[in-house]
Amino acid sequence: MLIDFEPGDYVKNPANLNWGVGQVQSVIGNKVTVNFQNYGKMVINIDNVTLEKIENE
């Protein structure tokens, strides 16, 4: 599986939109650490959770 995230990217979790926009802090293997506006820092296993990247406009 291709991991298309890098630190500084903005993402959302479609299953938990109430978490708000998150900024990727680090990517180690299949674990992405994201700091969400409304939920704080989460370590997400992207094998189990789909994150959507928010493209910069």
Predicted local confidence at residue 56, as pLDDT: 65
**For the CA atoms of the chain, what is the radius of gyration?**
10
User: Domain-by-domain residue ranges, the chain?
Assistant: 10-54
Taking the whole predicted model, whether its pTM rises above 0.85 is answered as yes
Q: What is the pLDDT tens value at each position of the chain, 57 positions in all?
A: 556 899 999 999 999 999 999 999 999 999 999 999 999 999 999 999 999 999 865
Predicted local confidence at residue 4, as pLDDT: 84
Helix (H, G, I), strand (E, B) or coil at 40: strand
Both structure tokens of 26: 């680090």
Both structure tokens of 48: 């189990």
How does strand 22-28 pair with strand 52-54?
A: unpaired
Task: Point out which residues pair with 12 in neighbouring strands.
Answer: 52
Predicted local confidence at residue 2, as pLDDT: 59
Question: What whole-number distance in Å separates Cα of residue 37 and Cα of residue 17?
Answer: 11
Predicted local confidence at residue 46, as pLDDT: 93
Predicted local confidence at residue 55, as pLDDT: 81
